[in-house]
Structure 1
Amino acid sequence: MRLTVHTFLTLDGVMQGPGGREEDTSGGFEFGGWLVPHVDDDFGRIVDGWFAEADAILLGRTTYQLFQPYWEEVTDPDNTVAAALNALPKYVVSNTITEATWNDTTILSGNFLEAIDDLKSGPGRELQVHGSHRLARALHDAGLVDEYRIIVFPVVLGQGKRLFESGAAPSAFTLARSKTTASGAVYLVLEPTAFGAGELEVGDFEVQEGREQIKE
Structure 2
Amino acid sequence: MKLTVTTFVSLDGIMQGPGGPEEDRDGGFDLGGWLVPYVDAGFGEIAGPWFDDADAFLLGRRTYDLMAAHWPHVTDPDDIAATKLNTLPKYVVTSRASGLDWAGAQQLSGNIPQRIRELKEQPGRVLQVHGSSRLIQFLLANELVDELRLLTFPVVVGSGKRLFEPGTLTAAWRLTGVRSTPAGVLGQTYEFAGRPALGNIEIDSDGKEKLVEA
Report the Cα distance in structure 2 between the residues aligned to 1:75 and 1:29, rounded to whole angstroms.
Answer: 32
User: Are 1:78 and 2:78 matched, yes or no?
Assistant: yes
Higher mean alpha-carbon deviation, 106-115 vs 127-136, is at 106-115
User: Are 1:212 and 2:206 matched, yes or no?
Assistant: no
Query: Helix, strand or coil: the match of 2:188?
Result: strand
The answer on whether the counterparts of 2:10 and 2:155 sit within 8 Å (CA) in structure 1 is yes
- In the superposition, the TM-score normalised over structure 2's length comes to 0.96
State the Cα distance separating 1:99 from its structure 2 match.
5.0
Once superposed, what is the RMSD of the aligned Cα atoms? 1.1
Report the Cα distance in structure 1 between the residues aligned to 2:96 and 2:122, rounded to whole angstroms.
Answer: 26
- In the superposition, the TM-score normalised over structure 1's length comes to 0.95
Report the Cα distance in structure 2 between the residues aligned to 1:26 and 1:83, rounded to whole angstroms.
Answer: 30
Indicate the residue corresponding to 2:198 in structure 1: 202
**Superposition map of 1:58-207 within 5 A:** 58-98=58-98, 100-193=100-193, 198-207=194-203
Report the Cα distance in structure 1 between the residues aligned to 2:41 and 2:86, rounded to whole angstroms.
Answer: 23
State the Cα distance separating 1:5 from its structure 2 match.
0.4
Query: Helix, strand or coil: the match of 1:78?
Result: coil
Report the Cα distance in structure 1 between the residues aligned to 2:137 and 2:97, rounded to whole angstroms.
Answer: 20
State the Cα distance separating 1:112 from its structure 2 match.
1.2
Where has structure 1 moved over 4 Å in runs of 4 or more? none
Residues 28-80 of structure 1 deviation map (CA, whole Å, 9 limit, x = unaligned) = 11111111110111110111101111000110011001110111111222211
Residues 143-178 of structure 1 deviation map (CA, whole Å, 9 limit, x = unaligned) = 111100001111011111111100000111110011
Report the Cα distance in structure 2 between the residues aligned to 1:87 and 1:192, rounded to whole angstroms.
Answer: 28
Query: Helix, strand or coil: the match of 1:3?
Result: strand
- Which amino acid is the alignment partner of residue 203 of structure 1? G
Query: Helix, strand or coil: the match of 2:166?
Result: coil
Indicate the residue corresponding to 1:20 in structure 2: 20
Identity %: 50
Report the Cα distance in structure 1 between the residues aligned to 2:183 and 2:72, rounded to whole angstroms.
Answer: 29
Report the Cα distance in structure 2 between the residues aligned to 1:177 and 1:23, rounded to whole angstroms.
Answer: 29
Report the Cα distance in structure 2 between the residues aligned to 1:50 and 1:175, rounded to whole angstroms.
Answer: 16
Report the Cα distance in structure 2 between the residues aligned to 1:192 and 1:65, rounded to whole angstroms.
Answer: 29
Report the Cα distance in structure 1 between the residues aligned to 2:167 and 2:98, rounded to whole angstroms.
Answer: 31
State the Cα distance separating 1:96 from its structure 2 match.
2.7
